[in-house]
Amino acid sequence: MSGASPLRIVFAGTPEFSVPCLAACRASGAEVVAVYTQPDRPAGRGRKLTPSPVKQAALDAGIAVEQPESLKDPAAREQLAAYAPDLMVVVAYGLILPRKVLAIPRLGCWNVHASLLPRWRGAAPIQRAILAGDNESGVDLMQMEAGLDTGPVLLERRTPIHADDTGGSLHDRLSQLGAEVLAEGLKRVLAGETLAAVPQPEAGVTYAHKLDKAEARLDFSRSARELERQVRAFDPWPVAEAAIAGETLRVWSARALDVAHQAAPGSVLATGRDGIDVACAEGVLRITALQRAGGKRIGAADYLNARPDLRTAR
């Protein structure tokens, strides 16, 4: 595309995950003509209206910001068309793009999605992959169509899910991988290449439904391995919680032990500097970091100092 006017991009994204992808667009040599992001939402203790991380990054870069409540409104579509985008890049935007919006950019719309499609289409692919015990995740650069994450894949990056990965650590890694795969796609298109669009296979489709706070409750009638994955997946949000020795606690860190026992699920089997061992239907969950109501995250040893009644548990 040498000699031609630069590729005009409209970027649509909202959370922190999307910010590296916006930076990749700006660094590519293309022109980011506008950024679309969700309307400001109340946040923090004062419930003050707060701009999204993407809006803040756009303002810092001097890029025009649009925050429509919906893209179904004809006026919102006219505004988008007025930017005359060649390409729209969508990364965790949080609004549905109607078919009429997908048709506005000359090259259509790209989406950076944090899973290996068609596995984990939908809202919470990072946490669902950990919950399910997947060994691998990744990011797909996809050509968007009207269905939910159904479009053909243009490029892909993979990463193993490590035994100690949390929702937070995998999120951060996939955020950077997303920026890398997007940068590669833009580089190739700017060089005049047409990316091959590979249709998703029909086999292996799963949906990553939005996280619900009710899912955070640990049920000790399940296996310790399942509960360990739950603790990791829900760090940093919504954070696992459990009733332990008569107190409801947030559980930040735990590991499954393959220990046979005859105790009732939920019983405290042993305590010590290494953690609090709780009986599960299968195995034992050793809780190593937790949080009391109104308190901060502490290690198990500090918690036991405040609960001398538990220090002798066996």
The residues, ordered by sequence, that sit 6+ positions from 313 with a Cβ below 8 Å of its Cβ are: 245, 268, 269, 270, 271
Going from the N-terminus, what domains does the chain have, and what CATH number goes with each?
8-208 (3.40.50.170), 216-310 (3.10.25.10)
87 labeled binding residue: no
CA 18 to CA 127: how far, in whole Å? 17
What average pLDDT does this structure show over 51-61? 98
Q: What percent of the chain has pLDDT over 70?
A: 97
The pTM (predicted TM-score) of the whole model is 0.94
Cα-Cα-Cα-Cα dihedral sign, residues 76, 82, 87, 91: negative
CA 225 to CA 231: how far, in whole Å? 10
116 labeled binding residue: yes
The secondary structure element, H or E, covering residue 36 is strand 31-36
Cα-Cα-Cα-Cα dihedral sign, residues 187, 190, 192, 196: positive
Quick one: pLDDT at residue 312? 60
Quick one: pLDDT at residue 226? 98
Indicate whether 223 pLDDT > 80.
yes
115 labeled binding residue: yes
Q: What is the mean pLDDT of the chain?
A: 95
pLDDT in tens, 237-289: 999 999 998 999 999 999 999 999 999 999 999 999 899 999 999 999 999 99
Please identify which residue in the block is written with the tokens 């994204």: 13
What average pLDDT does this structure show over 196-214? 96
